[in-house]
Amino acid sequence: MKNKKINMEKLVNHCKNMGIIFPGSEIYGGLANSWDYGPVGVELKNNIRSLWWKKFVQESEYTMGVDAAILMNPKVWEASGHLASFTDPLMDCRSCKTRHRADNLIEKHSKGSVNADKMSNEEMESYVVQHKVACPVCGNSDFTPIRQFNLMFETYRGVTKESNSQIYLRPETAQGEFVNFSNVQRSLRMKLPFGIGQTGKAFRNEITPGNFTFRTIEFEQMEHQLFCKEGDDEKFYDFYKNYSMEFFKSLGFENDVLRFKDHEKLAHYAKSACDVEYLFNFGWGEINGIHNRTNFDLSRHQEFSGKNLEYTDPATNEKFIPFVVEASYGLDRITLAVLDNAYDVEELEDGTEREIMRFKPSIAPFKVGILPLIKKLHSEKAHDVYRMLSKHFRVMYDETGSIGKRYRRQDAIGTPFCVTIDDETINNQTVTIRFRDSMQQEVVALDNLVAFITSKLAEE
Ligand code: GAP
């Protein structure tokens, strides 16, 4: 069941207080739509990325990974269409000089009943005028006509800022996979169908407020491109829709917080496209896109690079440009969805409340909290246990405050197991293990502790 108690403000505060996510460059007043992962958040994000890589690269018989450069030859962005059309429709408020996306203004004004994605610029402009759409900042309704604003961040290589030295921070990782299609195919003798997977940073000059890490200017993507013969494309499109859902279930999401949303307006090159949406505390939001991109990408790169990107079928000698089915995931958005899904405030029998992150143990940032009962007496032994467990799991040592407070701190960052070190550990080589969700305790022999935790982690 979806937890109704949380809102974004509460989650943002919890993340800051518990070392999960901090505002970016906070001591300088921050930078809009930028965030830093703290010691707890970085572990969570790493775990989600590793699970994605395992499912999409390691467990796939036909997928290879790459790690392509962020800065690419600018012709890549001509070929991909980003230079010409990776734009947002912006309007400036003449009264207060703030800048807004026309589609957002319309969707907000119509309370979501009008889908501005389907409208042309002229239609959006006349909607704003006819309905006297108000500026969300000053309340007046006096906007400039729409200007298309390119979302790519520009930079320059070398010492001069001339147009021929202009390059871009990549707005998606996908192009690094497309431009390496022939390299991967030839170097590893891949036969169709085969996939290329990659994770890495992408950058977009987003001007709209972001709902915490939902929309940021710098974010990480995890993208998988499946190259196949025309005719097999729709089969793989359906396959990756199911595979995506399996992936999201493995992160602990239930059916009631996930849904598919078909694109109503297809990009000119796409044959089919849908998103997977998660029910955030602010409503449904896209966390993953699955697209049948036809042979658009490789055809364009062949045309703009002048290099032959055809594949020769070894059985028939037929030459053709493969189709691509893309499955594209935003790591930061998925991490936010996991945080939103896991956060809970539980009322206890004694009338008190505890904050708890109900992460699946496999993605929990820390697996075990190691807590000496009395610092003076038990900390030395607890350090021994730390050294033993840290060879197997990400663990946290905490000796500050009462044992009850320390349990609560571990609950609040989602640690599934706490191990208490006391006299019994010193005299009888046993520890008490306490479970996050049930708060039950069990005594386990030190010799058996690694195997015990390993088997509990494997139970999910
Ligand atoms: N190669 C296809 C592509 O990039 P996209 O729908 O623009 O498709 C894919 O992006 C995913 O990247 C989205 O589903 C979302 O999870 C994530 N994403 C996109 N823009 C983002 C932003 N500004 N901040 C955080 N995540 C973003």
Hey, whose CA ends up nearest to atom 4 of ligand 1?
172
Nearest to 18 by CA among 460, 297, 414: 414
Task: Tally the residues of the chain.
Answer: 460
The pLDDT assigned to 1 comes to 45
Distance 284 CA to ligand 1 centre (A): 15
Q: Is 300 in the pocket of ligand 1 (CB under 6 A)?
A: no
Domain limits of the chain? Answer: 8-83+152-341, 87-147, 366-457
Q: Which amino acid is at 29?
A: G
| Residue from 149, 217, 219 to probe ligand 1 pocket by mutation (most atoms less than 8 Å from CB) | 219
The pLDDT assigned to 3 comes to 52
198 — alpha (psi -120 to 50), left (phi > 0) or beta? beta
Q: Is 179 in the pocket of ligand 1 (CB under 6 A)?
A: no
Distance 196 CA to ligand 1 centre (A): 18
The Cα–Cα gap between 297 and 177 comes to 10
- Matching CATH topology for 87-147 and 366-457? no
Q: CB-based burial of residue 82 (10 Å sphere; 0-12 exposed, 13-18 middle, 19+ buried)?
A: buried
Which ligand 1 atom lies nearest to the CA of residue 330?
16
Q: Is 360 in the pocket of ligand 1 (CB under 6 A)?
A: no
Task: Find out if CATH 3.30.40.230 is the number for domain 87-147.
Answer: yes
Q: Is 204 in the pocket of ligand 1 (CB under 6 A)?
A: yes
Q: Which amino acid is at 360?
A: K
The tokens describing 83, both together, are 């230079």
Hey, whose CA ends up nearest to atom 20 of ligand 1?
215
Distance 41 CA to ligand 1 centre (A): 20
439 — alpha (psi -120 to 50), left (phi > 0) or beta? left
Per-10-residue mean pLDDT for the chain, 460 residues long? 71 97 96 95 98 98 97 97 93 92 91 85 94 94 94 91 87 98 97 98 87 95 98 98 97 97 86 96 96 97 98 96 98 98 93 95 97 96 97 98 96 98 96 97 97 92
Question: Is residue 116 within 8 Å of residue 73, measured between CB atoms?
Answer: no
Q: Is 287 in the pocket of ligand 1 (CB under 6 A)?
A: yes
Q: Which residues pair with 312 in a beta bridge?
A: 319
Helices and strands (H, E) in the chain, number of each type: 15, 23
The tokens describing 209, both together, are 């407020």
Contacts of residue 2, defined as CB under 8 A and 6 or more positions apart, other chains included, come to 256, 257, 279
The Cα–Cα gap between 418 and 364 comes to 13
Distance 324 CA to ligand 1 centre (A): 18
First vs last C-alpha separation in the chain: 18
The Cα–Cα gap between 181 and 69 comes to 15
Q: Which residues pair with 275 in a beta bridge?
A: 261, 289
Question: Is residue 121 within 8 Å of residue 128, measured between CB atoms?
Answer: no
The pLDDT assigned to 115 comes to 85
Which ligand 1 atom lies nearest to the CA of residue 173?
1
Within 73-193, strands assigned E span 87-92, 99-101, 147-150, 154-156, 166-168
Backbone angles phi, psi at 382, to 5 degrees: -65, -35
Distance 157 CA to ligand 1 centre (A): 26
Distance 221 CA to ligand 1 centre (A): 7
- The correct CATH number of 8-83+152-341 out of 3.40.50.80, 3.10.580.10, 3.40.50.10800, 3.30.930.10 is 3.30.930.10
Which ligand 1 atom lies nearest to the CA of residue 223?
1
Query: Can you tell me which residue has the tokens 């290329």?
Result: 196
The Cα–Cα gap between 424 and 444 comes to 11
Q: Which amino acid is at 141?
A: S
Assess whether the previous peptide bond of 89 is cis (omega < 30° from 0).
Answer: no
What distance lies between CA 103 and its chain's CA centroid?
24
Q: Is 206 in the pocket of ligand 1 (CB under 6 A)?
A: yes
Distance 330 CA to ligand 1 centre (A): 5
Which ligand 1 atom lies nearest to the CA of residue 172?
4
Q: How many C-beta atoms lie closer than 10 Å to residue 448's C-beta?
A: 13
Stated pTM of the model: 0.94
| Residue from 226, 297, 328 to probe ligand 1 pocket by mutation (most atoms less than 8 Å from CB) | 328
CATH of domain 366-457: 3.40.50.800
